[in-house]
Amino acid sequence: MGIVRKTRSVDTILELFEDTDHAFSGVSLIERLRDQMNKTTVYRILDRLEDEGIIHSFQDQKGLTWYAKCQSCASGQHTDLHPHFQCRSCGRTSCLHVKITIPLIRNHQIEGAELLMTGLCDQCT
């Protein structure tokens, strides 16, 4: 059994992430769930889901935290290396399921990498 109890709040958040590569910012989730749960609860559930390997988080260029569903991560470690895309016009942010090549750097032991691509999505071009 995992650490995360399946409460009403957890279910509500999990439903949002289901079947989509769309990412949600912490702020947008707090706003969206304002009537259903406290912001502390939102952050704590996101933390727990990330610890369990169910979602992952990343930062955008403004320093905001975004969350999206994991495709193939295990509890405790996130192994699904993929880039994220953020549209500068509409702000929509999502996972891109393409392989990326991380350069080897002499004298550096690389453990992780995060690639954020920005531009215009198909809706906004």
Binding site for its own copies (CB under 8 A): 58-65, 83, 85, 88, 96, 98-103, 105, 107-122, 125
Closest CA to 94 of 12, 24, 31: 24
Query: Residue 27 has which token pair?
Result: 């702020």
CB atoms within 10 A of CB 45: 22
Q: How far is the CB of 114 from DNA (least distance, A)?
A: 15
Among DNA, its own copies, none, what binds residue 118 when CB lies within 5 to 8 Å by partner kind? Answer: its own copies
- Residue 27 in the binding site for DNA (CB under 7 A): yes
The rounded distance, in Å, linking the Cα atoms of 22 and 99 is 18
Question: Which residue lies nearer to its own copies by CB, 2 or 88?
Answer: 88
Residue 95 carries which DSSP code?
A: E
Residues of this chain that bind DNA (CB under 7 A): 1, 3-10, 25-27, 36-41, 43-45, 47-48, 63-65
